[in-house]
C-alpha cells in the first residue's frame, strides 16, 4: 500500500519470488496436515466438544486458504486498476471470474479502490465490483456515494474512518456491512491510507476491501460451539455433583466396617467399599447395601443400573429404596426380584439392571438369595473359594413378567461371602476375573476382620483407574459373641 508521506514516494519492491514460493509451499503443506487431522476427527454433531473442535478446524483451514491466496497475489503482483483498455474492450480485472477461480475464493473476495480527491474520480478493481454486487459497466462510487451501500447502523463508523484518514492522515482499518443489489448483506473489511500531494495535502485515498462474511460466520460458529461446550461442561459438573451427593446420601459408609444393631453368634461382620472409575464423569448406578430387618434377618444386596450420569444415579436411588422397602415388608429374594423387574419395566425411561439380593437368618445361619443377571456371590471356607450355584434370573427390565428363582444354603462360622459388581478386577472379565477373585482365598484366610478382607481386595486390584466403577461387599459369619 502506498505510503501516506508522499504520492511520489517510490513503491516498495516485492520480496524475491523464491522466498514467496517457499512460504506458499509451507502453507500448503500445513493446510494438508490440518485437513488430514480434520477428516480423521469424526463427529455426528451430538458432542459439544467435537462440534467446537470441528468449527476450529474449519476456521483454521479458511484462514490458511486465505493466506495461501494472499501469498499467491504477493508473488504475482496486483492487477492494473484502469477502468478501460486502450482498444475499448472490457479490462481483464472487470471481466467475470475465470472458470478456474472458485466462486467465494479469496481472489473474488479481495478488491481495491482509489479515490482522487482533486478530480473527484474513483477507480475500482473488478473484484470490488463483484464483492459489492455492482455492474462493472457502471461508474465507481465516490467517497460521498459509498455510504449509500452501507447499512444505516454502520454508516457512522465508515464516515468516521474516512474522515480520520483524510483529515488526520490516519490509516483505515475497520469493518462495515453493505447491502448488495440482490438484497444479500456482506461484511467488508477495509484497510486504506491517504496519499499526500506535493504540498502535503491529501490528494487521494487508496484502500483494499475484503469480503470477510464467511470468515466472520466461521468465527461466529466457533464462538457458538465454544459457548455450547462451556455450558455443557458446567451442566456436566453440576450433574456430577448431584450424582455424587445422591450416591453418598443412599449408600452406607464405604470406608469402614458396616455396623448392624445386634451382634451375637452367627451374625455377620460386614465391610464394603465403592471404587470409583478413572473417569470422574462416569458415575453410574452401582450400589451395595446391608440392612437389619425387623424380624432379625439381615438384607445384603449389590447391583448395577446400566449407564452413567445423574439420571442413572437417581434410578439407582429409587431401586435401592424399593429393595429396602420390599425386604422390610417381608418379600423373599426371588419375589423381590420379580417386583423390581416390574418396577423397571414400568418406568418412563427404560433401564436395565442387574442385582444380587440375599436374606440371612443368624439363628440358623441360613442364606436365601436370588440374582438378576448378576455375578453370583463367592463363598470362602477353610482357605478355598467357590462360586455359588446361581438360580435362574434375567436382567431387571429385560423381560416383562420374568420369574426369578432363589437358592438356599447354610453357612458355617468363619465363612466369608463376597458380593461384587462388574469391573472389580480392572482389565479382566468373565472366568479370568473370577479366577483372580477366588485366588484371594489364602489372604482372606489370614485376615482377622471383614474390613481386613476389603483392604486385601483394594490392595490386590487397586482403588482407582478402573474403566467403570465397582462395589464390593464382604460378610463374615461370626464365631463368637463380640465383646
Q: Within 10 A of 265 (CB to CB), how many other CB atoms are there? A: 14
Q: What is the pLDDT of residue 95?
A: 36
Q: What is the pLDDT of residue 100?
A: 39
How confident is the prediction for the chain on average, in pLDDT? 82
Q: What is the pLDDT of residue 11?
A: 44
Query: Stretch 462-469: mean pLDDT, rounded?
Result: 77
245 and 436 in contact (C-beta within 8 Å)? no
How far apart, in whole angstroms, are the C-alpha atoms of residue 411 and residue 269? 13
How far apart, in whole angstroms, are the C-alpha atoms of residue 129 and residue 216? 21
How far apart, in whole angstroms, are the C-alpha atoms of residue 186 and residue 151? 10
Q: Which of 173, 109, 176, 186 is nearest to 147 (CA)?
A: 176
Which residue would you say has higher pLDDT here, 284 or 15? 284
Q: What is the pLDDT of residue 422?
A: 87
162 and 143 in contact (C-beta within 8 Å)? yes
Q: Which of 60, 55, 67, 72 is nearest to 33 (CA)?
A: 60
Q: Which three cell numbers stand for residue 317?
A: 436411588
**Looking at the predicted structure, is the pLDDT value of residue 169 above 90?**
no
231 and 130 in contact (C-beta within 8 Å)? no
If you ran DSSP here, which 8-state letter would residue 183 be given?
Answer: S
As a residue count, the chain comes to 483
Q: How far is CA 302 from each of CA 45, 257, 338, rounded to the nearest angstrom? A: 37, 16, 16
* Span 326-354, pLDDT tens digits: 999 999 999 999 999 998 888 767 788 99
* Span 16-26, pLDDT tens digits: 667 888 999 99
Where is average pLDDT lowest: 88-97, 203-212, 413-422?
Answer: 88-97
Distance of CA 310 to the CA centre of its chain: 17
Where is average pLDDT lowest: 82-86, 130-134, 201-205, 343-347?
Answer: 82-86
How far apart, in whole angstroms, are the C-alpha atoms of residue 9 and residue 206? 14
| Bridge partner residues of 384 (DSSP) | 381
State what percent of residues in the chain have pLDDT above 90: 39
Is the pTM value of this prediction over 0.95? no
How far apart, in whole angstroms, are the C-alpha atoms of residue 440 and residue 435? 9
187 and 157 in contact (C-beta within 8 Å)? no
Q: What is the pLDDT of residue 81?
A: 43
State what percent of residues in the chain have pLDDT above 70: 81
Q: What is the pLDDT of residue 261?
A: 59
How many Å is the Cα radius of gyration of the chain? Answer: 38
Q: What is the pLDDT of residue 480?
A: 57
84 and 115 in contact (C-beta within 8 Å)? no
How far apart, in whole angstroms, are the C-alpha atoms of residue 144 and residue 148? 8
Residues 6+ apart with CB under 8 A from 161: 172, 173, 174, 190
471 and 305 in contact (C-beta within 8 Å)? no
Classify 343 as helix, strand or coil: helix
Between CA 289 and CA 298, with CA 294 as vertex, the angle to 5 degrees is 40
| Bridge partner residues of 65 (DSSP) | none
How far apart, in whole angstroms, are the C-alpha atoms of residue 382 and residue 432? 23
Q: What is the pLDDT of residue 75?
A: 83
Highest mean pLDDT among 19-23, 83-87, 210-214, 371-375: 371-375
Q: How confident is the model at residue 264 (pLDDT cuts 50, 70, 90)?
A: low
Classify 204 as helix, strand or coil: strand
How far apart, in whole angstroms, are the C-alpha atoms of residue 393 and residue 239? 33
Q: Which three cell numbers stand for residue 278?
A: 478413572
How far apart, in whole angstroms, are the C-alpha atoms of residue 455 and residue 272? 10
Q: Reduced to 3 DSSP states, what percent helix, strand and coil does the chain have, rounded to the nearest 5?
A: 40, 25, 40
How far apart, in whole angstroms, are the C-alpha atoms of residue 158 and residue 147? 7
Q: What is the dihedral of CA 220, 225, 227, 232, to 10 degrees?
A: 170
Amino acid at each position: 500500500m502506498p505510503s501516506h508521506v508522499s504520492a511520489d514516494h517510490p513503491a516498495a519492491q516485492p520480496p524475491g519470488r523464491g522466498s514467496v514460493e517457499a512460504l506458499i509451499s509451507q502453507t500448503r503443506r500445513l493446510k494438508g496436515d490440518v485437513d488430514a487431522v480434520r477428516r480423521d476427527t469424526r463427529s455426528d454433531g451430538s458432542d459439544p466438544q467435537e462440534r467446537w473442535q470441528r468449527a476450529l478446524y474449519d476456521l483454521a483451514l479458511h484462514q490458511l486458504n486465505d493466506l495461501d491466496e494472499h501469498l499467491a497475489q504477493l508473488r504475482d503482483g496486483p492487477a492494473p486498476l484502469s477502468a478501460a483498455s486502450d482498444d475499448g474492450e472490457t479490462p481483464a480485472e472487470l471481466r467475470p471470474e475465470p472458470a478456474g477461480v472458485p466462486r467465494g475464493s479469496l481472489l473474488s473476495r479481495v478488491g481495491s479502490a482509489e479515490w482522487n480527491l482533486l478530480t473527484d474520480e474513483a477507480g475500482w478493481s473488478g473484484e470490488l465490483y463483484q464483492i459489492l454486487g455492482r455492474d462493472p459497466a457502471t461508474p465507481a462510487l465516490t467517497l460521498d456515494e459509498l455510504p449509500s451501500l452501507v447499512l444505516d447502523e454502520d454508516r457512522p463508523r465508515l464516515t468516521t474512518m474516512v474522515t480520520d484518514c483524510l483529515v488526520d492522515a490516519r490509516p483505515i482499518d475497520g469493518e462495515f456491512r453493505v447491502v448488495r443489489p440482490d438484497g444479500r448483506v456482506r461484511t467488508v473489511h477495509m484497510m486504506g491510507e491517504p496519499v499526500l500531494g506535493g504540498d502535503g495535502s491529501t490528494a487521494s485515498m487508496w484502500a483494499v476491501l475484503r469480503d470477510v462474511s464467511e470468515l466472520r460466520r466461521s468465527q461466529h460458529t466457533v464462538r457458538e460451539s465454544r459457548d455450547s461446550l462451556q455450558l455443557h461442561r458446567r451442566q456436566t459438573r453440576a450433574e456430577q455433583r448431584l450424582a455424587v451427593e445422591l450416591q453418598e446420601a443412599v449408600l452406607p459408609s464405604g470406608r469402614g466396617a458396616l455396623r448392624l444393631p445386634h451382634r451375637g453368634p452367627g451374625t455377620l461382620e460386614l465391610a464394603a467399599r465403592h471404587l470409583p472409575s478413572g473417569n470422574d464423569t462416569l458415575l453410574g448406578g452401582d450400589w451395595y447395601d446391608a440392612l437389619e430387618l425387623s424380624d432379625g434377618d439381615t438384607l445384603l444386596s449389590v447391583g448395577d443400573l446400566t449407564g452413567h450420569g445423574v439420571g442413572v444415579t437417581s434410578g439407582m436411588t429409587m431401586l435401592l429404596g424399593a429393595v429396602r422397602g420390599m425386604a422390610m415388608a417381608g418379600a423373599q429374594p426371588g419375589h423381590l426380584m420379580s417386583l423390581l423387574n416390574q418396577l423397571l419395566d414400568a418406568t418412563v425411561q427404560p433401564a436395565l439392571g442387574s442385582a444380587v439380593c440375599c436374606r440371612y437368618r443368624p439363628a440358623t445361619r441360613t442364606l436365601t438369595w436370588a440374582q438378576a443377571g448378576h455375578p453370583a456371590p463367592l463363598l470362602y471356607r477353610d482357605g478355598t473359594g467357590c462360586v455359588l450355584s446361581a438360580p435362574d434370573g434375567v436382567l431387571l427390565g429385560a423381560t416383562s413378567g420374568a420369574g426369578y428363582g432363589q437358592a438356599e444354603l447354610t453357612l458355617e462360622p468363619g465363612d466369608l461371602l463376597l458380593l461384587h459388581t462388574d469391573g472389580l478386577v480392572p482389565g479382566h472379565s468373565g472366568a479370568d476375573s473370577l479366577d483372580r477373585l477366588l485366588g484371594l482365598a489364602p489372604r482372606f484366610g489370614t485376615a482377622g476382620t471383614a474390613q481386613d478382607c476389603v483392604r486385601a481386595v483394594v490392595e490386590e486390584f487397586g482403588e482407582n483407574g478402573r474403566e467403570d466403577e465397582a462395589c464390593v461387599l464382604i460378610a463374615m459369619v461370626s464365631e463368637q459373641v463380640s465383646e
